[in-house]
């Protein structure tokens, strides 16, 4: 059983718990580490890439076994997180079942290299008592410099595929912590001393701020029973022999439930059902502390004269509208993620918008910044409405296990039984043959395979597709399936990308219950995105991968400046407006 830190006053104020040593035994800690490592050894596709590029070999467990030998439970949780964080993979993570979080009532991010406040909850922090605000600099917390804290938190950071996103998430954790992926979050005190430099006076002042705590903090895992050698049944409980008897728990539901990370695309044919688990490529936006991540509305304020079309009703998946500049009619379409509640409904909305944009704009700006990803086939469906000709999609190199062989075989069988066209049957047969070939190799990984219902790298445009110039906005939080979407646009020369290098979360991610004693849920990259073209960058060897490399913008513009923060992104909006006008006025 788990030991919990009780929380009073409707779960708003946490109560500290004593530090618990060795609730898990050394054998139990070792078993969980080996189980986690085995899960990755069996399923993790980018193993060789991480070993060769970052010098981290997940098979080498000796230093980790030494580290956990005397760990308490929270330190052990932290070691497991750091083990996966060493892969520098946004999709490689482990979460523990805890609802506890703590916040100081404001958020921070890195602008112009400084940790600046970018929102304040005035219900928690009244202006009269806490006269700091957006644009002021957080210099230290409890006497420790923010750069030191970022360095410390970086080893546990999610969004690890990109150094900028890794540091930004680490900065956000200074003031907002979730125990699911930050085990010692429950150890924060009742208050913190925030050292803040006010922009108006350049004076550095200290503020004592209460931690707002919610949920139940987990103190330790145990004690828990350990399997041991024996000869079977030791005794029989007479109480449980009675008809209708139930265990002492009374059949009460479990307090905590593991989340279901699967994303569904309700436009797919039924024969795709077996491989639906392989179609997920996303990150949880709620655990980063970054403003606007996965939000429908853009992080910037639309320009003067902007007429909003979508984004005013809860049923709208997209944000969209139009404005004019220098006589050019500009459309704006924000895609917050590729995980709509219904892909079918989202595509209906997109079809209507594309038809409108074709008739009423000269250029379209597509915003996939701060996009948390989602369903890979949904991303391809979006691309089919933004590219007016047949295009090549991104492939996946799958780590071939028995499960993949079974899933691809089942898909092929269902497609045959459903009467799918012969060309699709042949494509799916080829896909299955490649998975089977790789399965028969040690640590086999397939050649790049398409993930869509056609089983093809070549995808046709939708009946309604945008035909005019396109400009795509990207940043280091263009993540997962949005990484893939950016690559599709760039590789098919659809239009320039403006912003910063994308996250580099270049794979799908499958969820496993991967540690028995600590009840961890881990995310594993089973398929590695392959663009089909070799990309050369200063930081990495020439490669066709998106993982870590990201997709590089054609026009570099950084939103993360104080000027953008203080003006609702006015310089950024002007930059992409100027680029859109130039694109529309360039002869085709």
Token readout for 538 is: 């200063």
Can you give the pLDDT at residue 143? 97
Among 220, 235, 253, residue at a domain's last position: 220
Can you give the pLDDT at residue 22? 55
Q: What are the φ/ψ torsions at residue 424 (nearest 5 degrees)?
A: -70, -45
Q: pTM score, two decimals?
A: 0.90
Residue-range definition of the domain harbouring residue 283: 279-394+462-504+550-585
Q: Is residue 63 part of a domain?
A: yes
Which DSSP helix (H) or strand (E) runs through 391? Answer: strand 391-392
Q: Distance between CA 19 and CA 10 in Å, rounded? A: 24
Write down the mean pLDDT value for the chain: 90
At 350, which CATH number? Answer: 3.90.226.10
**Could you give the number of structural domains in the chain?**
2
- On whether both 209 and 301 belong to a single domain, the answer is no
Q: Distance between CA 410 and CA 424 in Å, rounded? A: 14
Q: Is residue 442 part of a domain?
A: no
Better pLDDT: 261 or 105: 105
Q: Is residue 128 part of a domain?
A: yes
SS3 462: coil
Among 171, 190, 220, residue at a domain's last position: 220
Three-state SS for 519-574 is CEEEEECCEEEEEEEEECCCCCCCEEECCCCCCCCCEECCCCCHHHHHCCCHHHHH
- On whether both 478 and 579 belong to a single domain, the answer is yes
Tell whether the model's pLDDT for residue 487 goes beyond 50.
yes
- On whether both 481 and 352 belong to a single domain, the answer is yes
C-alpha count within 13 angstroms, C-beta hemisphere, residue 404: 30
Tell whether the model's pLDDT for residue 10 goes beyond 60.
no
553-582 per-position pLDDT tens digit = 999 999 999 999 999 999 999 999 999 999
Q: Is residue 116 part of a domain?
A: yes
55-103 per-position pLDDT tens digit = 999 999 999 999 999 889 999 999 999 999 999 999 999 999 999 999 9
Q: Is residue 406 part of a domain?
A: no
CA 289 to chain centre: 12
Q: Distance between CA 378 and CA 370 in Å, rounded? A: 17
Q: Is residue 248 part of a domain?
A: no
377-416 per-position pLDDT tens digit = 999 999 999 999 999 999 999 999 999 999 999 999 999 9
Is there a contact between 138 and 586 (Cβ–Cβ < 8 Å)?
Answer: no
Q: If we measure between CA atoms, which residue out of 196, 560, 223, 137 comes closest to residue 369?
A: 560
- On whether both 473 and 343 belong to a single domain, the answer is yes
Q: Is residue 382 part of a domain?
A: yes
Can you give the pLDDT at residue 229? 57
- On whether both 292 and 202 belong to a single domain, the answer is no
At 197, which CATH number? Answer: 2.30.42.10
- On whether both 283 and 206 belong to a single domain, the answer is no
495-521 per-position pLDDT tens digit = 999 999 999 999 999 999 999 999 999
- On whether both 166 and 300 belong to a single domain, the answer is no
Tell whether the model's pLDDT for residue 15 goes beyond 50.
no
- On whether both 116 and 20 belong to a single domain, the answer is yes
- On whether both 29 and 173 belong to a single domain, the answer is yes
Instruction: Give strand pairing partners of 11.
Output: none
Q: Distance between CA 49 and CA 56 in Å, rounded? A: 9
230-288 per-position pLDDT tens digit = 555 544 443 333 333 333 333 333 333 333 445 589 999 999 999 999 999 999 766 77
Among 220, 237, 258, residue at a domain's last position: 220
Is there a contact between 519 and 96 (Cβ–Cβ < 8 Å)?
Answer: yes
Q: Is residue 139 part of a domain?
A: yes
Token readout for 137 is: 């600099």
Is there a contact between 332 and 301 (Cβ–Cβ < 8 Å)?
Answer: no
Looking up tokens 């009269």, which residue turns up? 128
- In this prediction, residues 416-436 reach a mean pLDDT of 97
In which band, very low, low, confident or very high, does the pLDDT at 225 lie, cut at 50, 70 and 90? confident
Q: If we measure between CA atoms, which residue out of 196, 106, 110, 111 comes closest to residue 564?
A: 111
270-286 per-position pLDDT tens digit = 999 999 999 999 997 66
CA 52 to chain centre: 24
Q: If we measure between CA atoms, which residue out of 275, 530, 561 comes closest to residue 405?
A: 275
Instruction: Give strand pairing partners of 523.
Output: 93, 511
- On whether both 283 and 385 belong to a single domain, the answer is yes
Tell whether the model's pLDDT for residue 334 goes beyond 80.
yes
SS3 268: coil
Can you give the pLDDT at residue 131? 97
- On whether both 195 and 298 belong to a single domain, the answer is no
337-370 per-position pLDDT tens digit = 999 999 999 999 999 999 999 999 999 999 999 9
- On whether both 298 and 390 belong to a single domain, the answer is yes
């Amino acid at each position: 059983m788990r030991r919990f830190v009780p929380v009073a006053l409707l779960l708003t104020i946490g109560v500290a718990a004593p530090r618990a040593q060795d609730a898990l035994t050394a054998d139990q800690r070792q078993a969980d580490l080996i189980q986690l490592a085995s899960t990755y050894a069996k399923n993790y596709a980018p193993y060789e890439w991480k070993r060769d590029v970052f010098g981290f070999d997940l098979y080498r467990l000796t230093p980790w076994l030494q580290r956990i030998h005397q760990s308490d439970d929270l330190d052990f949780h932290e070691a497991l997180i750091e083990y996966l964080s060493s892969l520098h993979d946004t999709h490689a993570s482990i979460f523990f079942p805890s609802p506890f979080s703590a916040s100081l009532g404001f958020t921070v991010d890195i602008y112009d290299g400084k940790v600046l406040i970018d929102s304040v909850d005035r219900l928690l922090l009244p202006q009269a008592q806490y006269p700091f605000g957006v644009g002021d600099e957080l210099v230290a917390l409890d006497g420790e410099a923010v750069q030191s804290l970022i360095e410390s938190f970086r080893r546990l950071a999610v969004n690890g595929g990109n150094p900028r996103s890794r540091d930004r998430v680490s900065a956000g954790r200074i003031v907002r912590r979730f125990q699911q992926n930050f085990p010692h979050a429950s150890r924060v005190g009742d208050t913190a001393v925030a050292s803040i430099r006010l922009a108006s006076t350049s004076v550095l002042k200290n503020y004592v701020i209460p931690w707002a705590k919610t949920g139940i903090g987990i103190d330790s895992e145990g004690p828990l029973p350990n399997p041991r050698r024996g000869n079977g049944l030791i005794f029989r409980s007479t109480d449980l022999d009675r008809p209708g008897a139930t265990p002492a728990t009374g059949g009460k539901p479990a307090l905590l439930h593991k989340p279901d990370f699967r994303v569904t695309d309700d436009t797919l044919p039924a024969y795709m059902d077996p491989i639906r688990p392989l179609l997920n490529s996303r990150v949880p936006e709620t655990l980063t502390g970054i403003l606007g991540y996965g939000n429908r509305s853009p992080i910037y304020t639309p320009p003067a004269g902007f007429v909003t079309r979508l984004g005013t009703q809860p049923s709208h998946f997209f944000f969209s509208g139009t404005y004019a500049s220098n006589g050019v009619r500009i459309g704006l379409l924000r895609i917050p993620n590729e995980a709509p509640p219904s892909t079918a409904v989202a595509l209906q909305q997109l079809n209507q918008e594309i038809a409108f944009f074709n008739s009423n704009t000269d250029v379209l700006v597509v915003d996939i910044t701060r996009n948390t990803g989602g369903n890979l086939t949904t991303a391809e469906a979006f691309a089919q409405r933004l590219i007016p000709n047949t295009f090549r999609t991104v492939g996946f190199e799958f780590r071939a296990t028995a499960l993949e062989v079974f899933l691809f075989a089942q898909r092929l069988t269902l497609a045959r039984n459903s009467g799918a066209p012969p060309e699709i049957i042949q494509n799916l047969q080829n896909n299955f043959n490649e998975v089977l070939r790789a399965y028969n190799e040690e640590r086999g990984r397939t050649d790049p395979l398409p993930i869509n219902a056609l089983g093809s790298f070549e995808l046709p445009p939708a009946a309604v597709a945008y035909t005019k110039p396109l400009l795509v906005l990207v940043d280091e939080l263009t993540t997962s399936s949005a990484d893939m979407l950016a690559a599709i646009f760039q590789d098919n020369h659809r239009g320039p990308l403006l912003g910063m290098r994308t996250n580099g979360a270049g794979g799908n991610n499958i969820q496993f219950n991967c540690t028995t004693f600590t009840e961890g849920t881990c995310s594993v990259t089973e398929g590695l995105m392959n663009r089909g073209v070799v990309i050369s960058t200063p930081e990495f060897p020439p490669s066709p991968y998106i993982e870590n490399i990201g997709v590089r913008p054609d026009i570099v513009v950084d939103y993360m400046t104080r000027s953008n923060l203080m003006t609702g992104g006015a310089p950024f909006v002007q930059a992409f407006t100027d680029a859109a006008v130039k694109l529309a006025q360039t002869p085709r």
